[in-house]
Amino acid sequence: MDVNVDLRRGLYFEDFQIGQKIKTPARTITEADIVNFAGLSGDYMQIHTDEEFSKTTPYGRRIAHGLLIMAISSGLAARTGVLEGTVLAFREIENWKFLKPVFIGDTIFVEMEVVNIKEMRRIGAGAVIIELRVINQENDVVMKGLWNTLVTVKPE
């Protein structure tokens, strides 16, 4: 028996509007996140992995890898389902800023806002530019930047 199931739950290009906002679920950063990312990336810099060394820094404690928080932000965005099954490519990250440190125990979420759209009919898609703001439990923006994504148009 064939079952025709549409695995796309994401928005099509035509569904995006400039000014549209999406908020992700939140996630708490753990020591396991930092240890696992260090192992995966090979980045064992002391500011991330050495508690005693980190006490001597201006932060006074270990901080999460910036790229770890960037990756977690991507996962949080994916959890919204907005691009699930409709994104064709992640084209570019623009103007990414690391504004404040993220510590073990911090809880972050992402506010996404569509800032530009450009139809590309000949390839059956459109560019959707989304500003991401990574926000901690104190409502501080810790990172921000733009994602340039390629999203499919609605089938005819």
Query: Given this model, what pLDDT does residue 31 score?
Result: 96
Flag whether 48 is in a domain. Answer: yes
The count of structural domains within the chain is 1
Buried/exposed 140-153: b ≥16 CB within 10 Å, e otherwise = eebbbbbbbbbbbb
Query: Given this model, what pLDDT does residue 5 score?
Result: 46
Query: Given this model, what pLDDT does residue 79 score?
Result: 94
Query: Given this model, what pLDDT does residue 156 score?
Result: 78
Q: Mind listing the pLDDT tens digit for each residue in 121-142?
A: 888 899 999 999 999 999 999 9
- Long-range Cβ contact pairs of 78-81 (< 8 A, separation 24 or more): 79/24, 79/25, 80/22, 80/24, 80/25, 80/112, 81/9, 81/10
Is residue 2's pLDDT more than 60? no
Flag whether 2 is in a domain. Answer: no
Q: Mind listing the pLDDT tens digit for each residue in 71-109?
A: 999 999 999 999 999 999 999 999 999 999 999 999 999
Query: Given this model, what pLDDT does residue 122 score?
Result: 87
Query: Given this model, what pLDDT does residue 155 score?
Result: 84
Flag whether 46 is in a domain. Answer: yes
Query: Given this model, what pLDDT does residue 1 score?
Result: 45
Flag whether 8 is in a domain. Answer: no
Flag whether 45 is in a domain. Answer: yes
Flag whether 1 is in a domain. Answer: no
CATH number for the domain spanning 69: value is: 3.10.129.10
pTM of the model: 0.90
Flag whether 5 is in a domain. Answer: no
Q: Mind listing the pLDDT tens digit for each residue in 4-50?
A: 545 568 999 999 999 999 999 999 999 999 999 999 999 999 999 99
CA angle 59, 60, 66 (to 5 degrees): 40
Domain hosting 110: range is 13-152
Flag whether 134 is in a domain. Answer: yes
